[in-house]
Structure 1
Amino acid sequence: MPSDPASLVALALLALNLITLALFGLDKALARASRRRIPEARLLGLALLGGTPGAYAGRALFRHKTRKQPFSRQLGGIAAMQVLVAGAALGWWLGG
C-alpha cells in the first residue's frame, strides 16, 4: 500500500467513487423491487465528498435518477462547485 499522501488521497477517492457507483446500482435494484431506498441525501453527500464521477457514472450505467428534479440540479451544483474549487486550488498551486 502506498504511503505518500497523494497516492492515499487518490486511493480514497477511487474507493469513494466505486462505493458511490455501487450505491446507485443498489438503489436502482431496490426501486425495482419496491423496497426501502437509499436516501437521496446520502447519495448527494457521497458526491459532495468527492464521489461525483461515481454518481454520474451510476446515473448513466443504471439509468437511475436521470430525470429526477431537484436531484439532478443538486448534483450538477455539487459538480460545478467542485470544478470551481479544483480550478482555484490549481490556480493557487501554479501561481504559487
Structure 2
Amino acid sequence: MFVVGSLLFFLLLGFLYWQGVLPVGVLVLYGSVGCGTWLAYFFDKQAARSDSRRIPERTLHLLALAGGWPAALLAQQLLRHKTRKVSFQLVFWVTVVLNCAFLAWLCSATGAQVLRLLP
C-alpha cells in the first residue's frame, strides 16, 4: 500500500508539472533528494546488520522533510528498515505532513509567486 502511495505521489508531481503548476526544478529536487534518501536508508540498514556506525535518525528525518519521504517510505517497506520503531515512525509521518503542506503551499497563488522568482 505504501509503495503505491509513493508512486501516486510521483504521478501527482508529474501531473502538476504537466499542468504548469510546478517547475521542473521541483521534480528534480524530489528525485535527487529521493535518491539520496534511498541510499541513506540502504547504508543505514547495512550498518545496522554489521553493527557499524549508523546514520543518525535526525539525518533520515531531515532528508524526508526535504522531499525524500516517498523514497524513505519505499526503503522502509522494501528494505524492512525503521518500520517497528514507533518514535521514529511518529516523527517520520510528521515530516511527511509538513512536506506535503509545503508542496500544497507552493501550488497556491502565494507559492506560485515565490516559484516565479526562482531561476
Range of TM-score over shorter length: 0.7 to 0.9
Confirm or deny that 1:67 pairs with 2:84: yes
| Alpha carbons of structure 1 residues 26 and 69: separation in structure 2 relative to 1, 3 Å | same
Q: Which residue of 2 aligns with 1:56?
A: 73
Equivalent residue pairs, number:
90
After TM superposition, the structure 1 = structure 2 runs for residues 26-45 of structure 1, keeping only pairs within 5 Å, are: 26-45=43-62
Q: Tell me the distance in 1 between the aligned counterparts of 2:66 and 2:72.
A: 11
Query: What TM-score does the superposition give when structure 1 sets the normalisation length?
Result: 0.81
Q: Which residue of 1 aligns with 2:19?
A: none
CA RMSD of aligned residues (A): 2.0
Q: Which residue of 1 aligns with 2:33?
A: 16
SS in 1 for 2:52: coil
Identity of aligned residues (%): 30
Q: Tell me the distance in 2 between the aligned counterparts of 1:65 and 1:45.
A: 15
Q: Tell me the distance in 2 between the aligned counterparts of 1:52 and 1:76.
A: 9
Q: Tell me the distance in 2 between the aligned counterparts of 1:59 and 1:6.
A: 29
Q: Tell me the distance in 2 between the aligned counterparts of 1:51 and 1:69.
A: 20
SS in 2 for 1:65: coil
After TM superposition, the structure 1 = structure 2 runs for residues 71-90 of structure 1, keeping only pairs within 5 Å, are: 71-90=88-107
- Letter of the 1:15 partner, please give it: S
Mind listing any 5+ residue stretches in structure 1 that lack a counterpart?
A: none
Query: What TM-score does the superposition give when structure 2 sets the normalisation length?
Result: 0.67
